[in-house]
């Protein structure tokens, strides 16, 4: 895609590579291959912090190839009891609801069992 063929609709889609959570909007994702990685020291956001990363293979019922990249300790704490003890290569279906913004952000996170 050259700059001549890119329009506003394309520009407003976002990168499409990462999963984002909007306030008061539930998202259902299927993750696999979760791991911990230290963010580069020169990163714009969460420099030097340890992030939980995972491959997202499904988002709201659609097959995708995206990355879950979480530096938020609040969200990592919610995901810990769901992911801890499982094989990182296992696919896990998760519901995430973000409520609030900035310092008042809270997450409701649940594992969805079954198919």
H helix count then E strand count, the chain: 2, 5
How many CB atoms sit inside 10 A of residue 43's CB?
A: 13
Summarize pLDDT for 40-99 with one digit per residue, the tens. 888 777 778 899 999 999 999 999 999 999 988 999 999 999 999 999 999 999 999 999
| Secondary structure of 13-62 in HEC code, one letter for each residue | CCCCCECCCCECCEEEEEEEEEEEEECCCCCCCCCCCEEEEEEEEEECCE
Query: How are beta strands 26-38 and 92-99 bridged, if at all?
Result: antiparallel
pLDDT at 1 exceeding the cut of 50: no
Q: Where are the domains of the chain?
A: 13-111
Lowest mean pLDDT among 1-10, 13-22, 36-45, 57-66: 1-10
d(CA 29, CA 42) in angstroms, rounded, equals: 29
Q: In this predicted structure, what is the pLDDT of residue 12? A: 58
Q: What is the pTM of this model?
A: 0.80
pLDDT band at 18 (very low <50, low <70, confident <90, very high): confident
Q: In this predicted structure, what is the pLDDT of residue 42? A: 81
Contact call for residues 91 and 59 (beta carbons, < 8 A)? no
């Amino acid at each position: 895609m050259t700059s001549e063929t890119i329009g506003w609709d394309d520009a407003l889609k976002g990168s499409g590579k990462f999963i984002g959570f909007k306030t008061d909007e539930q998202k259902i994702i299927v993750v696999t291959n979760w791991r911990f990685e230290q963010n580069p020291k020169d990163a714009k956001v969460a420099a030097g912090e340890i992030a939980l990363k995972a491959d997202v293979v499904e988002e709201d019922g659609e097959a995708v190839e995206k990355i879950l990249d979480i530096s938020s300790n609040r969200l990592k704490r919610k995901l810990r009891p769901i992911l801890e003890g499982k094989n990182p290569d296992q696919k896990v279906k998760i519901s995430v609801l973000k409520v609030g913004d900035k310092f008042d952000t809270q997450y409701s996170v649940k594992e969805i069992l079954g198919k």
